[in-house]
Amino acid sequence: MTIRHEMIPERPAPIRTVGPIAWLRANLFSGPVNTLFTLVGLYLLYVLLAPTIQWAFINADWVGTSRDDCSREGACWVFVNARLGQFIYGLYPGSEIWRVNTVFASFAALIAWLAIPRLPAKRWVAIATLLAFPVFAYVMLYGGYFGLRVVETHRWGGLMLTLILAVVGMVAALPIGILLALGRRSQMPIVKSFCVVFIEFWRGVPLITILFMASVMLPLFMPTGVSVDRLLRALIGITLFQSAYMAEVIRGGLQAIPRGQEEAAAALGMNYWMRMGLIVLPQALKMMIPGIVNTFISLFKDTTLVMIIGLFDLLGIVQAALSDSRWLGFALEGYVFAAFMFWVFCFSMSRYSQYLERKLHTGHKR
Amino acid sequence: MAQRPQARPAGPKPPFWRDRAKRALIFQLLLIAAVAGFLVYIIGNTQDNLAARGITTGFGFLNNTAGFGIVQSLIDYSSQSTYGRTFVVGLLNTLLVSALGVLAATLIGFVVGIARLSPNWLIARLASGYIEVFRNIPLLLQIFFWYFAVLRALPSARDSLSFGEVIFLNVRGLYLPEPQFLSGFGLIPLATLVAVVASIALVIWNRRRHEATGKRLPAYWISAGLIVGLPLLVLVVTGVPVTWEVPELRGFNFRGGITVIPEFLALWLALSIYTASFIAEIVRSGIQAVSHGQTEAAQALSLPQGLVLRLVVIPQALRVIIPPLTSQYLNLIKNSSLATAIGYPDLVSVFAGTTLNQTGQAIEVIAMTMAVYLTISLLVSLFMNWYNARVALVER
């Protein structure tokens, strides 16, 4: 009888169960129906992507100054290149663009600080973003202080205006939304019904009618002789609209906090505002961040509607550039550029919100 | 008998702001006063402004002649019609594009949402690519893209794209053949009605029989066959009393058939494709919300695969899907107001746009427009509440 004293060397797993071929078999060609789907999918991909890549990259023209530099066989990115400054800053005077850049950069730094979980002192940065930054941004963008030239709001436009509308709408809507959400959960019947009517009204009508209202009816509501800046009218409309949606997100977060939290706080002798401000809202707001980011994404996309009341946001200024007689016939390039810009912003925000959802979901997962 | 001990030792009465009920009362009175004061202020200002501009308020303007034409109208309309009629035309156009948009978006959304869960890696990736692309691009931009970059770039009527020489697509729109109903066609709707009634009766009878005896017929298949088959049978028996009027090129344009204006096409495409990406996500999360244990339990009862889906998985998934789905439908209806950007004659474009500009009756026009959307929202949320109450989990 023989006894082996050493192990038989490990053999590699059969090629049918691991490795790329097995993966292909399992995921793409596991049966006749699946194979058919894969082939149809590949064909679809080819039909969609091949001409697009051909148009956007291979046959495209990238450098030049006028439309004569374009061969017209593919995309003419020269158009976007020539107009890039306008697309981003609108008609903001060229010598003052550093002001916009400073605001953009500081905003990006603040948001990055808030978004990266490892960095400390979140609370102070958040307070600075919500309270100090708007003042700073207003002074920088509008001017009139510290020897800065005044830049009228009708010169603002492009991506800059889109960001301003979205961020201001959001920051202004947050406190109103919190108050409305608390009011809707209140036990005082009049306060509650007022909040319900307010929220349901703004949620029930399209943003475009609100913007129409803000641009047509707001001047009627003001005392005779007082005129409201057009940008401010749009901002008021957007803020009212957004605060209603915000209130619903916040209400969802408040409902997720067990009643015991508030009762425990009451047992410690806290009054209503202490209970809300110190116990309930801090817990609720943390759970609401994904929802808030999602409403921000839809607000960001909705800001494009302001072009209908005559403001030139990113889409508005692209649309205006398309009717320039020197650059007729580049609609596709303009739209693809604008779509790409919006997509990058919205997609990264939605990815961030998904990441947060996963991160905050610990412990509740089944 | 001993007196009940007092809850609070007798002492100085607490001041009124420590009394919860009184505080709530004061707070609410303050709110009413603030809102009323705000309204009075605004109404006063508005009256001053209207007087300064010489605008009279009231709905009398609805009876005046509009004097402008509308490209697409479902009812008789000419430039001699009244402003009141423009309202109706706009409303119907809004409802038309919304209804067709809801249909198409549901169809695309369910297909993409189910494809997103496909075991086939490529199909799942394609579906998620669709969702991520169209969800993250503003709707208005998509409408512009379809209208200005695609439909406006189509050839002129003479070089129309032709599909089998019956459907034509050119820069002026889509031309479809129009069915002309001959006498005797009236039987076909009648046959459909009979089939629908018979199917409902069959389903109810089948359910009762199933509960009583445990036997069941494939009632859904039978009724599907009935609803399709009976009208077809009548159609063949009566000798197909339908002819098609095919659009024809005469001069510079097509005559005859149904014309779908490019504004409608652009709006409809963009609305359906955009909303479908949201519906797809709703469908995916709804199906994933049904835990796998449910499927396994149903299989352990040796239910066949089809019944597992129909009796266990889909009813539970629908409970998750329907509420966000209705709110997407509502969004679609509200988003159809973007029509005004490309000139599709919907309510906002015709009424809050042209009519407002011509009459200057800003308050009345905006109020009527908002009232329409509010009514639709309220009706849908009423339905939602009813549905939620119906399908809510009955927990012990």
CB contact under 8 Å between B141 and A222, yes or no, is no
- Chain B CB contacts of A184 below 8 Å: none
* Helix ranges (DSSP H) in chain A: 19-27, 32-53, 77-89, 97-115, 122-127, 133-142, 158-184, 189-204, 207-216, 218-221, 230-255, 259-267, 272-274, 281-302, 314-322, 331-360
Q: In this complex, is the C-beta atom of B228 within 8 Å of any C-beta atom belonging to chain A?
A: no
Cβ–Cβ of B148/A331 closer than 8 Å? yes
Backbone angles phi, psi at B245, to 5 degrees: -90, 110
pLDDT of residue B2: 53
pLDDT for B6 beyond 70 = no
d(CA A210, CA A303): 12
pLDDT at B281: 92
Please name the member of A37, A189, A304 whose beta carbon is closest to the beta carbon of B141. Answer: A304
Nearest-CA distance from B383 to chain A in Å? 15
Which residue from B minimizes the CA distance to A305? B140
Q: How many CB atoms lie within 10 A of CB B357?
A: 12
Q: Determine contact: B141 vs chain A, CB below 8 A.
A: yes
Return the sign of the alpha-carbon dihedral for residues B320, B322, B324, B328.
Answer: positive
Q: Do A205 and B334 touch (CB under 8 A)?
A: yes
Does B126 fall in a domain? yes
The reported pLDDT for the residue numbered B268 is: 95
pLDDT at res. A7: 87
Q: Considering CB atoms only, which of B123, B137, B337 is closest to A41?
A: B123
Do the chains contact at B136 and A366, CB–CB below 8 Å?
no
Specify the higher pLDDT residue, B183 or A220: A220
Cα angle B336-B340-B342, degrees, rounded to a multiple of 5: 100
Are the beta carbons of A209 and B348 separated by less than 8 Å?
A: yes
Q: Say how many CA atoms lie within 13 Å of B158 toward its Cβ.
A: 2
Ranked by mean pLDDT, which of A31-35, A154-158, B51-55, B103-107 comes out on top? B103-107
How far does the CA of residue A204 sit from the closest CA of chain B (Å)? Answer: 5
Q: What angle do CA B237, B243, B249 make, to 5 degrees?
A: 165
Q: What is the pLDDT of residue A291?
A: 86
pLDDT tier for residue B130 given thresholds of 50, 70 and 90: very high
- Res A361: pLDDT: 66
pLDDT tier, A1 (very low <50, low <70, confident <90, very high otherwise): low
Q: Determine the residue of chain B that is closest to A366 in CA distance.
A: B291
Which among A212, A315, A350 has CB closest to B366? A212
Q: Is the pLDDT of residue A5 over 90?
A: no
Domain that holds residue B284: 83-152+263-391
In terms of phi and psi (left: phi > 0; alpha: psi -120 to 50; beta: otherwise), the region of A275 is alpha
Interface test with A, best of B22, B49, B91, B372 (most A CBs within 10 A): B49
Average pLDDT of the segment spanning A234-247: 92
User: Alpha-carbon distance A350 to A365, whole Å?
Assistant: 21
Q: Considering CB atoms only, which of B48, B132, B338 is closest to A347?
A: B132
**Torsional class of B173: left (φ above 0), alpha (ψ -120 to 50), beta (otherwise):** left
Q: Is the pLDDT of residue A35 over 50?
A: yes
**Residue from B116, B140, B273, B328 to probe the interface with A (highest A Cβ count within 10 Å):** B140
* Residue A269 three-state SS: coil
Asked whether the beta carbons of A343 and B136 are under 8 A apart, the reply is yes
Q: Where are the domains of chain A?
A: 81-359
* Least confident window among A174-178, B48-52, B278-282: B48-52
Q: What is the pLDDT of residues B211-266, one digit of tens each?
A: 888 887 777 788 888 888 888 888 788 777 777 778 877 777 777 778 888 999 99
Residue of chain B whose Cα is closest to the Cα of A32: B120
Encoded amino acid at A324, one letter: D
A/B interface, count of CB pairs below 8 Å: 154
Touching A: B residues 331-370, CB under 8 Å: 334-335, 337-338, 340-341, 348, 352, 356, 362-363, 366, 369-370
CA A105-A107-A109 angle, 5° bins: 70
Residue A155 has pLDDT above 80, yes or no: yes
Looking at chain B from residue 280 to 319, which residues have their Cβ under 8 Å from any Cβ of chain A?
Answer: 291
Domain membership flag for residue B373: yes
Q: Looking at chain A, how many residues does it have?
A: 366
B369 within 8 A of A209, measured Cβ to Cβ: yes
Res B394: pLDDT: 64
Residues of chain A neighbouring B141 (CB-CB closer than 8 A): 304, 315, 335, 338-339, 342
How far is A112 from A126, CA to CA, in rounded Å?
11
pLDDT at residue number B228: 86
Overall average pLDDT of the B352-368 stretch: 86
Alpha-carbon distances, residue A295 vs A36, A167, A236 (angstroms): 40, 12, 17
Q: Identify the pLDDT of residue B9.
A: 59
In a domain, residue B380? The reply is yes
B285 within a domain of the structure (yes/no): yes
The pLDDT of residue A103 is above 80: yes
Structure tokens at A167: 């961020």
pLDDT tens, position by position, A287-316: 888 888 889 999 999 999 998 888 888 988
Check residues B207 and B105 and name the one with the higher pLDDT: B105
Give the Å distances, CA to CA, from A90 to A87, A105, A166, A316, A344.
6, 18, 16, 10, 20
Half-sphere exposure at residue B389, Cβ-oriented, CA atoms within 13 angstroms: 6
Distance from CA of A143 to the nearest CA of B (A): 31
3-state secondary structure chain B: CCCCCCCCCCCCCCCHHHCHHHHHHHHHHHHHHHHHHHHHHHHHHHHHHHHHHCCCCCCHHHHCECCCCCCCCCCCCCCCCEHHHHHHHHHHHHHHHHHHHHHHHHHHHHHHHHHHCCCCHHHHHHHHHHHHHHHCCCHHHHHHHHHHHHHHHCCCHHHCEEECCCEEEECCEEEECEEEECCCCCHHHHHHHHHHHHHHHHHHHHHHHHHHHCCCCCHHHHHHHHHHHHHHHHHHHCCCCEEEECCEEECCEEECCEEECHHHHHHHHHHHHHHHHHHHHHHHHHHHHCCHHHHHHHHHCCCCHHHHHHHHHHHHHHHHHHHHHHHHHHHHHHHHHHHHHCCCCCHHHHHHHHHHHHHCCHHHHHHHHHHHHHHHHHHHHHHHHHHHHHHCCCCC
A188 closest CB neighbour out of B28, B48, B122: B28
Structural domain contains residue B185: no
What is the phi/psi pair of residue B255, to 5°?
-120, 150
Q: Helix, strand, or coil here: A274?
A: helix
Residue B45 located in a structural domain: no
Asked if residues B231 and B191 have their Cβ atoms less than 8 Å apart, the reply is yes
Least CA distance to A48: which residue of chain B? Answer: B126
Which neighbouring-strand residues pair with A90?
Answer: A156
Mean pLDDT of A254-282: 89
Tell me the C-alpha distance between B236 and B251, whole Å.
37
Q: How confident is the prediction for chain B on average, in pLDDT?
A: 85
- Do the domain assignments include residue B281? yes
Instruction: Look at residue B204 and tell me if it is in a domain.
Output: no
Tell me: pLDDT of A366 over 50.
Answer: no
Tally the domains of chain B.
Answer: 1
The pLDDT value given to residue B254: 79
Contacts of A321 in chain B (CB under 8 A): none
Q: How far apart are CA B334 and CA B328, in angstroms?
A: 10
8 A C-beta contact, residue A203 and residue A244: yes
Residue B173: beta bridge partners?
B170
What is the tens place of the pLDDT at every residue in B38-59? 999 988 888 888 888 777 777 8
Contacts of A21 (CB under 8 A, 6+ apart): A15
Mean pLDDT, residues B290-314: 87
> Which CATH homologous superfamily contains domain A81-359?
MetI-like (1.10.3720.10)
CATH code, domain carrying B315: 1.10.3720.10
Residue-level pLDDT at B111: 92
